[in-house]
Structures are given as C-alpha cells and as structure tokens.
Structure 1
Amino acid sequence: MTQAKAPSRVRVGIGGWVFEPWRGNFYPAGLAQSRELDYASRHVTSIEINGTYYGTQKPASFARWHDETPEDFVFALKGPRFATNRRVLAEAGPSIEKFLASGVVELKDKLGPINWQFPPTKKFDPDDFGAFLSLLPAEYEGRSLRHAVEVRHESFATPDFVELLRTHGVAVVMADKEGVPHLHDVTAPFVYVRLQSAREDRKSGYSPADLDAWAERARAWAAGKEPADLPRLSGAMPGPPRTRDVFVYMINGFKPKAPAAAMALLERLG
C-alpha cells in the first residue's frame, strides 16, 4: 500500500535510496535495484541526495530522477564538500558555481532545498561565514533556490549566528543527534530538520511519543508558528508567514529503521 501523504507544506523523507539493508525490509524481496527510487518516492514525500556532497553528478542523472518520481515529489540536495570543507569559506564561489552548473535545475519543480554541511571542526567566524552566505544565489537559470546550513560545532550556538542567517534568509538545519548543537530558531521561510537518533530496538526507530512530538512541531512550523517545547537562542522570527514549507529527514542513528520512521511520521501527519 502506498504511504499516506503529509500535508502539502510538510515533506518527510530519507537520505538516499540505495542501501542494502533496506532490501527485503523496506524494499520488497526481488525488487530490481533500478526500481528502488520509484518505490521509495511513493512511500515518502522527499529524499535528500547525499551523492552530490561527494562528487559531481551528471545532468542526465538529475533529469532521470525527476522523471522516475511522482509529480509532487521533492528532492533536497547536499551541497558539495569542496565548498564547505575549506579554511576560507569566502573562497568557495567557484565550487558553488560548479555544483549549480552540474545540472541541478534538471530537477525542475522537484528541486528542493540545498543543505550545505560543515565539518564538526569548523568554528563560527562571523565575517567568513557571512561571506559564504553571500555567495549563495537566490536563483539559478530561472529556478528559485533555498539554502540551509548544517553546522556541527558548539561555537555556532549563539544569537549572532541566528541573526546572520536571518539576514541572508538561510535556514539552520535542526538536529537531534548527540554531540552537535541543537539549534531550533527559524531563520528562513522554510524549516529543515535532520533526525539522526533512530534506535534498533524501536519498531519505527523512534518511540511513539517522540514521533507524536515531531509531528506536532512540524504542524506548528507549517502553520507559521514555532513549537513551544523547543528552546531558542533568539526571539521568534519577525513577521512570521501564514504557512511554511517543512522538510524532515530520517537520516541515521540506526539507518535500517529510517524508512519506517519516515512512514510512521507521515502517518501521523496524514
């Protein structure tokens, strides 16, 4: 049975679609690997593509991914590590341009937010990080772009970082993983969440109570509000919209449970 869809402002998905432990578990036994994206895209409402972080993809690949998925599906993309794993972020312009020119616009209306992930050792330097944010274009070849940043050093847990992101309209990636800052401030017209604490001993990776809580938070964000149970570093974002797009991805923790966790969250939102 095809999984029920979430409200149109909330997307719930997984990271990638090629993962051997999902075969015979999430994927039916005997399903051809060439059909895994088709299958996954009918059970979740978004997928974060991780391959773009490690290397350049071809325009034909983006076009094929567009064609193999439902009309209302959306992909998030990881920005290339060549742009974020560098000492001077202000020099990332050529890497950003190369990534955008690689064919991402072939996803057309299925092009969702771009997640720029930074290494855990990268500390907050307001001037250099601001210079990087200035390099992120609002559109490319007629396609609007939405950007999020995933930071993993505690030095980013400051109101100054929140205000810098708001100035540039860039979202902070919200996480629940131990050892990284848990930043819950809304800084852009959309919200990007990566959940990485699924457990092997939970049927759906997360407890029912945890899934209920994330469903309520997603509903609040989608309605232009902010969840009351999550601490913030700064005040609420000025002039909140009536609605927001929300993207929630079940990524790691115990990765074999990621599809089950995503579908369980979708069921609560459906």
Structure 2
Amino acid sequence: MPVQNTDTTVVLTHPHNKETSVTILKYGATVYSWKLNSEEQLWLSTAAKLDGSKPVRGGIPLVFPVFGKNETDELLSKLPQHGLARNSTWEFLGQTKENPPTVQFGLNEKIANPELTALWPRSFQLVLTVELGADYLKTGIEVDNTSNTEALKFNWLFHTYLRIEDIEDTMVSNLAGMHLYDQLIKESFVDKHPVITFHQETDCIYSNVDADRNIQVVSRGKQIHTLKRENLPDAVVWNPWVKKSEGMGDFEPKIGYKNMVCVEPGHVHDFIELAPGKKWNASQLLYKDELKYQAIQ
C-alpha cells in the first residue's frame, strides 16, 4: 500500500519503487526518514525521541510560530525555543493524491499542545502537505489566520537535517553575495565566500536570499542535495560541531555532527503578519540535480 497510517506514524511508499519512502511522525508532523532507492537522505539522532515526549532531533522538525527564543514580543517570548508546532500532535487529514503519493496533516489551537496555546492564545490553522516523488520530497505549509479580529504574527522554518558522508568534505553553495547574520559572533555582513565550508561550529541566518537561488550541498565536487524554496526568503545553515553536540542530551552519536548539515529554509529574519481571515503558503523541495554554481551577481 502506498500509504500506511498507524497510531503514531504515516508511511508513504512510492508506487513505482518500494525502496523510496517517507515516514512522518504525527507528533510534530515531523518527517524523520526519507529514503531514495533505499538510501536515507535525512539525518536522525540515535537518541531522538519518537514517543511524543519531546521534539525530534533530526529529520524535518517544523518551527512555528517563533524561531529560536524570542525576547521582544510579549506573547511569543513565553513560548519555548522554536514554538509549539513541533511539540504538538497533528491530525492526519488523509491522502490527497495517489501518484505522487501525497498526504496532509492539520494543527490548530484546539488540538495543539494546551500548555503552549495557553501561553500564546491565538487562532490559527496549519496544513502540512507531504509529497513523495520518485526522486524528490516536497513539504508545503499553509497558515490560515482564523481570527476575525487579530493579526497573526509568526515565523516559519523547515528545520531540515540532511545526511552527508563527512562534514569536512562538504560545502554549501549558492549563498555567495547574500546578507547573513552569524549567531555565534553576533555580527551581520555580506558573505563574499564562494561556498560555505565547515571546520568549526556554524550557525548563520541568510536573509532575503534571491528567489532563484537553489541551495546545494556538495561533497567532493558532486552535489548530494539540492533545495528549492518557495515563498521562504531566508535560510539557516547549521552544524553544531564538537562542543555543542556534547552538550545536547538527545544528539547521538556525539560524532554525528560529521554526518549531518542543517540547511533550513524559512521566514525568520522578521515576522509575517497575517491579517484576519488571510492565508500564507510556502514550501521546500528536496531533490537531486547537476552541480550548478550561482555566482555573486
């Protein structure tokens, strides 16, 4: 069967290739496995909690309504880091297409984590769409402000953990010339390096990235992941390296930083403010492509 629905997970298998599949945990609506021809594309900590006790470390956690820990907004500052979407059990809405197999999950303030909605009493409806192609994975989000009176203020981010062979042989390309904020040194500047390389902890937010920039993860001269964004102007590039990995209890093995890089498309450099009754849509597409270097304009 192309779609298997259990109490805790939904598994999609491509109808033309049983070795290509995606697994989504209903808690957080987190994609935690995507296999292409039986080869895993996402990184998942061996200590990740898949029992709904805490957000998943790995895969594609969903960040809403706040990125990081907010310190300025009266309501959003009450929420834990990265908000409430990844801390809530989503409703499986069912299958919408047979080929490519496509399913949807929903979350609103009535079924979201009650401890967190009590801190952030806003009306909203989220619909996540997961589409499994023969050679790609698309995750799309629709945010609906269901309030009749109040604007909805939020961030969105797909916190995507990509599996790689060796971080020191890995580069991220096509962000040259983009404005970034380095969260480690707390400085903003234009990145003039042709590629991003990794030899220490990296935590950078690239803002207002040109819409035609398709970010590529490159290993030893070959692209291994390509990321296309729709209506997501920002991208976070993150690797925790040695010390940060050691300090995270659910990050295992501790040398796992060598086999992952997070490339996270989102809208995080400022807040989206959605008027009552309005909707906002965005998506990320993960696929394989030829190596295509997009230089500084």
Q: Which has the higher strand share?
A: 2
Q: Which has the higher helix share?
A: 1
TM-score (norm 2): 0.24
